[in-house]
Amino acid sequence: MTSVRDPGAGTPLDTHLHAFVRTLRERGMAIGPGEAITAAEVLTVLDLTDRGQLREGLAAVLLREQMHRKTFDVIFDLYFPVRGGFGAAGSGPDGATGSGGEGCSGAPGEAPDQVDPLKMPAPDTPPDPDAVREALRQEAVAALVAGGDHDGIASQIVEQLGEYQSATGTAFSSYQALKALNPQTLIAAIANGLLAAAGEDGAAPGSFEYESARRVARSRVAGLTERVQELTSVAMAARRGPEAVAQYAAPQLPENVAFFAATRTELHRMEQTVRPLARQLSTRLLVRRRRARRGPIDLRRTLRKSMSTGGVPIDLAHRRPRPTKPELVLLCDLSGSVAGFSNFTLLLTHALSAEFSKIRVFGFVDSVDEITDYIDPSRTLTVDTVVDMFDRVIRETKVARFGGSDYGNVLRTFVRDFPDAVTHRGTLLILGDARSNHTDPALAELDELVERARHAFWLNPERKASWGTGDSVADKYGRLIDMYECRTAGQLAEVIGRLLPV
């Protein structure tokens, strides 16, 4: 591709696009050479001054999964800013420098047609921090009541409240900016403004209008908070380069987020991967069953076919198979440290329920109880419904006595109280980190369960390097049962797809 220079760009456009694609790949996106070439061709026909058109055009050719869009958008903002060069520090659209002239998307600074009410008339007089903060709070309330784009007020917040001096020079902190602004305290003022704009300023607390206004206010404050964080990253990219900032600013792809580190928001993003993964696994299982399932040898047909080869049975004839589906028994750790992992695994296996003749689910913390009846097979499970279900299970069943994990007591109780749960027709999946608080691990009981089951596997959300450290007995359990590291949704889907019986 011929090198083309954008008027405000700090690097050739083709080189810049290559860096953009490389960063997307480093975050885990599958982008082939053909897609990268198509993206370069797209740039020759798009209006490069229209960021919306540019964003959608590149997304159309580079994104394979819609659930990767959030990561794509963050990296796009770092590489293709609202104004100025492509990540060139200190080069604004007119060559200006300074905190308001960085060439980055929404980088601190206002658009050319905006007048910043916070500019001080005397540059040698330092502004009063309290006055700046209060003025920004009022501006934020007015902007959020009006709705629309948050970029203008978010840029001012980053510029006025987020700037600080680091060892390497001027830097920006979204934590510092948001702590100074404390946007959560603006919800009441925004809600009152929304009610006044709708002519409902007399609405009583608790009324439909009042609660609706507060819900809208909370949503807009959350949007402003997120935008401040994004624009802070963009401002840092203008100084340190987008590749360096993308390492910490761009969110992990949902399937690559570690269960232990996942926030509630990230679990919701991971939830989007369940249906696609379930479809892929169902297709894979169907193909494996078609290839693997053959009935027993039909001796009469085999001998008849062998007549054409001198009585030598070269081609074996099989009876038609009787299609059966396996049973599945899930033993899930519901303790807080691994609840997110059990949550997602339950979502995935529930989505695959059509592939099994029977599914029984047991939960445990330091004791065990069956929780199959808490799962409605007719309903689509979500992160929120599973979290609520786990809360009910812990309150209403015998899964927890004292609160600390005790795998030994769980295994002994499971063998004693549910002797018919695991049979030679079923597959046993144990989900947990195998950290037993230095209690007896009950190895004999685990060995008995493994002997009973047709297949038995243990899925562990901890790094393999941590197995056997501290109070972990994963190394001991691993000698009796096949144990697999499943730290992310991607690893989990790969392991389940490989292990599930046909």
Say which residue, 123 or 431, is predicted with more confidence.
431
* 405 pLDDT more than 70: yes
- C-alpha span between 354 and 158 (Å, rounded): 51
Are both 129 and 227 inside the same structural domain? yes
Are both 236 and 360 inside the same structural domain? no
At 288, is the pLDDT very low, low, confident or very high (cuts 50, 70, 90)? low
Helix locations, 27-88, DSSP H: 33-43, 51-62, 69-79
- C-alpha span between 428 and 434 (Å, rounded): 16
Token output for 447 = 């060995």
Residue 475 is assigned to a structural domain of this protein: yes
Residue 3 is assigned to a structural domain of this protein: no
89-115 residue pLDDT tens:
433 333 333 333 333 343 333 443 444
Average pLDDT on 122-128 reads 62
- CA distance readout (Å), 12 to 238, 425, 475: 16, 63, 53
What pLDDT was estimated at residue 482?
Answer: 94
Domain region containing 167:
13-251
* 1 pLDDT more than 60: no
Average pLDDT on 280-295 reads 68
* 62 pLDDT more than 60: yes
What pLDDT was estimated at residue 291?
Answer: 62
Q: How many CB atoms lie within 10 A of CB 32?
A: 11
* Max CA separation in the chain (angstroms): 107
Are both 233 and 345 inside the same structural domain? no
What pLDDT was estimated at residue 6?
Answer: 47
Are both 315 and 355 inside the same structural domain? no
CA 220 to chain centre: 22
Q: How many CA atoms lie within 13 A of 13 on its CB side?
A: 17
Are both 355 and 317 inside the same structural domain? no
> Is residue 16 within 8 Å of residue 79, measured between CB atoms?
yes
What pLDDT was estimated at residue 290?
Answer: 66
At 475, is the pLDDT very low, low, confident or very high (cuts 50, 70, 90)? very high
At 474, is the pLDDT very low, low, confident or very high (cuts 50, 70, 90)? very high
Average pLDDT on 484-494 reads 86
- C-alpha span between 431 and 382 (Å, rounded): 19
- C-alpha span between 305 and 185 (Å, rounded): 84
What pLDDT was estimated at residue 346?
Answer: 83
Q: How many domains does the chain have?
A: 3
Are both 370 and 446 inside the same structural domain? yes
At 83, is the pLDDT very low, low, confident or very high (cuts 50, 70, 90)? low
pLDDT > 70: percent of the chain? 85
Rounded to the nearest 10 degrees, the angle between the axes of helix 339-351 and helix 264-271 is: 20
* 72 pLDDT more than 80: yes
Are both 230 and 309 inside the same structural domain? no
352-388 residue pLDDT tens:
777 788 889 999 998 999 998 888 777 777 888 888 8
192-242 residue pLDDT tens:
888 888 888 777 777 888 888 889 998 899 888 888 888 888 888 878 888
Say which residue, 353 or 80, is predicted with more confidence.
80
238: nearest Cα among 6, 71, 82, 112: 82
Residue 227 is assigned to a structural domain of this protein: yes
> Is residue 364 within 8 Å of residue 331, measured between CB atoms?
yes
180-189 residue pLDDT tens:
888 888 888 8
What pLDDT was estimated at residue 295?
Answer: 66
Residue 265 is assigned to a structural domain of this protein: no
What pLDDT was estimated at residue 87?
Answer: 34
* 422 pLDDT more than 60: yes
What pLDDT was estimated at residue 115?
Answer: 40
Of 7-16, 41-50, 126-135, the range with the lowest mean pLDDT is: 7-16
Of 9-13, 396-400, 451-455, the range with the lowest mean pLDDT is: 9-13
235: nearest Cα among 282, 298, 172: 172
Are both 487 and 342 inside the same structural domain? yes
Of 93-102, 117-126, 471-480, the range with the lowest mean pLDDT is: 93-102
Q: How many CB atoms lie within 10 A of CB 254?
A: 25
What pLDDT was estimated at residue 92?
Answer: 36
At 8, is the pLDDT very low, low, confident or very high (cuts 50, 70, 90)? very low
Of 43-47, 92-96, 303-307, the range with the lowest mean pLDDT is: 92-96
321-337 residue pLDDT tens:
665 677 889 999 988 77
> Average per-residue pLDDT in the chain?
80
Contacting residues for 8 by C-beta, under 8 A, at least 6 apart: 83, 84, 85, 91, 93, 103
What's the helix, strand, coil split of the chain in %, to 5?
50, 10, 40
- State the residue for tokens 């050479």: 33
- C-alpha span between 430 and 434 (Å, rounded): 10
What pLDDT was estimated at residue 112?
Answer: 38
The CATH number covering residue 421 comes to: 3.40.50.410
Burial of 175 (0-12, 13-18, 19+ CB in 10 A): exposed
pLDDT > 90: percent of the chain? 24
**3-state secondary structure (DSSP) of residue 488:** strand
Are both 239 and 285 inside the same structural domain? no
Residue 175 is assigned to a structural domain of this protein: yes
At 444, is the pLDDT very low, low, confident or very high (cuts 50, 70, 90)? very high
- C-alpha span between 385 and 389 (Å, rounded): 6
- C-alpha span between 15 and 436 (Å, rounded): 53
What pLDDT was estimated at residue 149?
Answer: 72
Are both 376 and 344 inside the same structural domain? yes
Are both 338 and 442 inside the same structural domain? yes
Residue 6 is assigned to a structural domain of this protein: no
248-270 residue pLDDT tens:
888 888 888 888 777 777 777 77
At 38, is the pLDDT very low, low, confident or very high (cuts 50, 70, 90)? very high
Backbone phi, psi, residue 79, to 5°: -95, -30
Are both 212 and 311 inside the same structural domain? no
Token output for 309 = 């080869």
Residue 268 is assigned to a structural domain of this protein: no
Residue 478 is assigned to a structural domain of this protein: yes
- C-alpha span between 103 and 240 (Å, rounded): 12
Average pLDDT on 345-354 reads 79
